[in-house]
Structure 1
Amino acid sequence: MMKTRIEASEKFLQRWRKEGGRFLSSIITTDETWVNFYDPEMKRESMVGQRHLTNALRKKRPDCEIEDLIFHQDNAPAHRAEDTLLTIDFLGYERLQHPPYSPDLAPMDFCVFPRLKADLRGRRFKSEDEMKFAVRSAIRSYEKEWYADIFEKWVDRHRKCMPVAEAMEVFPRTITFAGQNMV
């Protein structure tokens, strides 16, 4: 498993070094999470009805050519299903490798979902539509710079997976994301 993490991180960093911000701007990272009709602020409180919400985090990339988009998914069974992989391949999208058991290398898991759940905690939803609207509103309210920072953290997390000699190599510290330089 460690070898797979290192190999995936090495490929990710090689691509990032070669293409920089263009590579990061082309990635669509997907995942799913549970959003509760009510997620109590106190864990002691009972939890009421859970609904699985998928595809709520699709972010349009108007500055990217559709054929240049790269899909990043973790290794959840739904993402590894033959139908899913065939559909992505049929549509002509590149798939970015993700090592098994590595939520620390999945931006949705290490940044987006924790913030989303914190923003929704304590709210009760009367319907699935109301819940979906709240999720979409929260995601849309996050600043572009916040998303760019997530991708910078993603690069840093891949660096940490590399052996010590590789990690000591000097990497550029400026990342260009969606046409803007981010430090």
Structure 2
Amino acid sequence: MVEVYAEKCPNYSTVTHWVRKFKSGFLSVMDEPREGRPTSVVTEKNVSTVEGLVKQDRRITVKQLASETRISVGSVEKILHDHLNLNKVSARWVPRLLTADQKKERADCCKHLLRLEANDDLFFQKIVTMDETWIYQFDPEPKNASMQWKRPSSPPPKKAKVTQSSGKVMLSCFWDCEGIIMTDYMEKGKTITGEYYSGLLKRLRSELVRRRRGKLRNGVLLLHDNAPAHRARQAVETADQCGYEILPHPPYSPDLAPSDFCLFPNLKKSIKGRRFEDIEDAISAVEEWFQAQNDTFYSQGLLKVKDRWQKCGRNNSPPSYSILTGLQLHPCVSGRFYFCLSATLPSLLRAPDLAFALGVQSRDSLVMLDTGFRSVWSKAFEICLDGASAATRFSFFCASFLRSPDPPAAP
């Protein structure tokens, strides 16, 4: 045996021990069941227990789970990651949590803007967008800007924490697909009011006459956010007098403002970390950066908003339902009803064996919904659009569709 297994050969006492066991009739080489703690606590029961505790409290810690289940921290982590496939993550910060109505308004606004763009070949050439942002005399660079390559043996870099300077101005920037049209800088301590913004709109008209010949004749589409100064009555009246058409903007949607997702982030990236002697030097650096960008930067940045409108319309909106009133019911054999919705439809919809059917329009497909109730004409229920949207369930509310206490009897 030593010649065959060499160093892996068991010692003489182990060999004699197993020889005695085999002679006594014990032929198994597996360990016998024994009392005491099991070799593994990762059982179906413990996995189910941990899963139940996590469902009760999504913020429960690993130590709390180990204390509740009386198993080790390592076993709890194994159950969480390997068996339940769970990871603990922090909530993603968003500027504001929108309500269902605000999400619908946001989607409807984007769809409306897309329809305007589809009907006007010069839509983006007519747009003039604007927004405001603070320009600081010193604005520290973000943490990720200090990332650098290092070897494992090298110490990590260190950086002292600094704050923004108190010296700052408010930049109001008007631009289009060709570049910057007008900028305005308001010193610290003042506020942009409706009156002040009205004056900016009048100055914008003069700049358009000087820098964009023919733009006023073709029409100007003003795209700005819903700041109080922008929605002030005086500002709206001035925009109308100047010949601007104000485009709708959904509430709390900086991701749909070209200045917020394109212009200002790139501007701030170039000036953050630079310490200017005074605020005038900061303004000069901003103006130099604006002039250094080519026309492609501005045109592509403005066109990106179309992709965001499309994404918003797809993701944030429930199906747009429209109740088709004035249905003309036609009785037929076996007590069923046909109803004609429009002469342009390819075919008639067929109702099941009930008294009435409600037509609901979703996107480009028409589906039929059986109400199934008689005396109660206001009811909340769910519908399943089998053919139109891959059997996705949506919530729908039908309120007082018909005022008759009972539907007429089928012939």
Give aligned-pair identity as a percent.
35
| Match among 42, 48, 52 for residue 165 of structure 2 | 48
* Residue pair 1:57, 1:136 contacting (<8 A) in 2 also: no
* Residue pair 2:140, 2:273 contacting (<8 A) in 1 also: yes
Cα deviation, residue 99, structure 1? 0.5
| Residue aligning to 1:33 | 133
| Residue aligning to 1:17 | 118
Cα deviation, residue 10, structure 1? 1.1
Cα deviation, residue 87, structure 1? 1.7
Cα deviation, residue 32, structure 1? 0.3
How many residues matched?
167
Cα deviation, residue 63, structure 1? 5.5
For 1:57-68, what aligned pairs fall within 5 Å after superposition? 57-58=174-175, 59-60=180-181, 62=212, 64-67=214-217, 68=219
* Residue pair 2:135, 2:171 contacting (<8 A) in 1 also: no
Report the 3-state secondary structure (helix = DSSP H, G, I; strand = E; otherwise coil) of the residue aligned with 1:24.
Answer: helix
Aligned equivalents of 2:253, 2:214: Cα separation in 1: 27
Q: Normalized against structure 1, the TM-score is what? A: 0.81
Q: Does 1:5 align with 2:106?
A: yes
* Residue pair 1:56, 1:136 contacting (<8 A) in 2 also: no
Give the letter for the 2:165 counterpart. V
User: How far does the alpha carbon of each residue in 1:108-151 deviate from its partner, in whole angstroms, 9 at most, with x for none?
Assistant: 00111100100111122233322222111111211211112112
Give the letter for the 1:47 counterpart. Q
Report the 3-state secondary structure (helix = DSSP H, G, I; strand = E; otherwise coil) of the residue aligned with 2:166.
Answer: strand
**Structure possessing the higher relative contact order (Cα contacts under 8 Å, 6 or more residues apart):** 1
Q: Which structure 1 segments of 5+ residues have no match?
A: 170-183
Give the letter for the 2:266 counterpart. R
| Match among 129, 132, 136 for residue 287 of structure 2 | 136
Report the 3-state secondary structure (helix = DSSP H, G, I; strand = E; otherwise coil) of the residue aligned with 1:122.
Answer: coil
* Residue pair 1:111, 1:150 contacting (<8 A) in 2 also: yes
Cα distance change on mapping 1:104 and 1:64 into 2, 3 Å: farther
Aligned equivalents of 1:57, 1:39: Cα separation in 2: 23
| Residue aligning to 1:89 | 240
| Residue aligning to 1:177 | none
Larger radius of gyration, structure 1 or 2?
A: 2
Q: Does 1:78 align with 2:229?
A: yes
User: How far does the alpha carbon of each residue in 1:51-88 deviate from its partner, in whole angstroms, 9 at most, with x for none?
Assistant: 23233444236264224111110112222222222221
* Residue pair 1:74, 1:106 contacting (<8 A) in 2 also: yes
> What is the alpha-carbon root mean square deviation over aligned residues?
2.4
Q: Does 1:158 align with 2:309?
A: yes
Report the 3-state secondary structure (helix = DSSP H, G, I; strand = E; otherwise coil) of the residue aligned with 2:137.
Answer: strand
Q: Which structure 2 segments of 5+ residues have no match?
A: 1-101, 144-160, 182-210, 321-362, 365-411
| Residue aligning to 1:100 | 251
User: How far does the alpha carbon of each residue in 1:6-58 deviate from its partner, in whole angstroms, 9 at most, with x for none?
Assistant: 121111111111113x1101111000001111112256212212423233444
Q: Normalized against structure 2, the TM-score is what? A: 0.38
Cα distance change on mapping 1:42 and 1:18 into 2, 3 Å: closer
* Residue pair 2:109, 2:249 contacting (<8 A) in 1 also: yes
Relative to its length, the structure with more helix (as a share) is: 1
Give the letter for the 1:46 counterpart. T
Aligned equivalents of 2:297, 2:278: Cα separation in 1: 29
Runs of 4+ more than 4 Å apart: none
Q: Does 1:117 align with 2:218?
A: no
